Amino acid sequence: MPLSDMLNLLTLAATEGAQFKIWAYIIFLAIVVLFLALDLGVFHREAHVVSMKEAATWSIIWVTCGVLFAAVVYFSYENHWLGLGLDTPKYNPAYVASDPTSKLIVEGEVTGKEAAKQYLVGYVVEKSLSMDNIFVIALIFSFFAIPGKYQHRVLFWGILGALIMRGIMIGVGAGLIMTYQWILIIFGGFLVLTAVKMAIIKGNDDPSQNVVVRLTKKFIPTVEFFDGQRFLTKRTLKPTYSKDPVTGKEVQDPPPAGSLRATYAITPLFLALIMVEITDLVFAVDSIPAIFAITPDPFIVFTSNIFAILGLRALYFCLAALIAQFRFLKPALILILAFVGVKLLLLSVPPYLTLIGMEAKSPIKIDTTISLVVVVATLGLATVLSWLLPGKKPQGGAAPGH
């Protein structure tokens, strides 16, 4: 089908109603699944240690795709392809607190320019918050002593699980704020409290103390060795390896006769995967409310989230060994969380001030462009300060891939 006919079909679909929006999600997810299939099935079919050059190349590719998708958002919303931009949830610019019939969130037309700005702000916010995730993933891999050549596999399946979890959370969150708009107050307060907690409370750095890991080990058979890049194994003895005389590659020797168990046991690789999934769930609880401070449009929230975490694997291999040197990154993330939390509170709290005996006020909406400038400037300042005022180099610890 010629490109012009395809564009005309997409535009025609917009006139047929918002039910075509579901196809926007289907097409987007199909593209994501294709990317992931190529990643695992072609580029990382064989387990290997991801080099800095390879990780940097993939980081550039993912960031480029994430930023360029803003252009897709612009043209999709501007031309209302598949109904995007029509009957779309948005914060009501004409909201008046004294009018009891008005709503904070309404459905209406969203221009391509506004949608693209919202997507970029959401993408930058989600990407910046994912940086903190890298600290925890590095700790998990170090604790379980995951060999560098198997780390990509854990991250791949971890991110696949994250796509499903975040999709469900975004769908539920969007439905809740459309029905109960006061939930935005809870979102905003949670973000501010999270920022305060990150600033004053040190988290537990021992993955073995995680309740899920302890319960898994208690009720499911586990082994202490790796069986290649398998998550499950029937082996009871640690595998041995020898070189293939033809290819010269290291291959796993067959298990000794009678050494296999009847049922499967989980390997440390699976325990690490569980921890990576839990980590993403915890960070999603912070990051998803953060982007709802930018827009209530579930398509923008979903796509910006997905593009931000798709590049997390490559970014991990680039930064895990270096990120400790960015001493001002964590304060920057705390400020960004606090900013989006306050932004959400300024938008959602004023109309409900009557509940505490005060006069209701009009909500204060911080412009999307201002949000983008604040987030980018905060990250830029943290990077510059980390370079000008480096901290002490950490003692010990293995770099990723060791």
Q: How far apart are CA 402 and CA 396, in angstroms?
A: 13
Query: Any idea which of 55-59, 101-105, 125-129, 152-156 has the lowest mean pLDDT?
Result: 101-105
Tens-place pLDDT, residues 32-43: 989 888 877 667
Summarize pLDDT for 318-348 with one digit per residue, the tens: 876 666 677 888 888 889 889 998 988 998 8
Are 64 and 35 spatial neighbours (Cβ–Cβ below 8 Å)? no
Q: State residue 97's pLDDT score.
A: 47
pLDDT at 306: 92
What DSSP element (H or E) covers 251?
strand 250-252
State how far the Cα of 283 lies from the Cα of 367, in Å rounded to an integer: 25
Do 389 and 331 contact (CB within 8 A), yes or no? no
How much of the chain, in percent, has pLDDT values that exceed 70? Answer: 86
Whether 297 contacts 105, CB under 8 Å? no
Q: Which pair of structure tokens corresponds to residue 319?
A: 């930064």
Write down the pLDDT at residue 101: 56
The 10s digit of each residue's pLDDT in 280-307 is 888 888 788 998 999 999 999 999 999 9
- The Cα 202–Cα 40 span in angstroms is 36
* SS3 at position 243: strand
- Write down the domain spans for the chain: 3-203+294-388
- Cβ atoms of 141 and 316 closer than 8 Å: no
Over the stretch 87-128, which tens digit does the pLDDT of each residue have?
Answer: 999 998 776 444 545 788 889 999 999 999 999 999 999 888
Task: Give the whole-angstrom CA distance, residue 101 versus residue 362.
Answer: 14
Question: CA angle at residue 136 from 130 to 142, to 5 degrees?
Answer: 140
d(CA 163, CA 312): 12
What average pLDDT does range 216-238 have in this prediction? Answer: 93
Closest listed residue to residue 128, CA positions, set 387, 371, 392: 371
Pick the residue with more confidence: 195 or 44?
195
Could you give the C-alpha distances from 170 to 31, 284, 297, 299, 306, in angstroms and in order?
Answer: 19, 10, 10, 9, 11
Q: How far apart are CA 115 and CA 122, in angstroms?
A: 10
Determine the longest span between alpha carbons in the chain, in angstroms: 82
Interatomic CA distance for residues 152 and 135, integer angstroms: 16
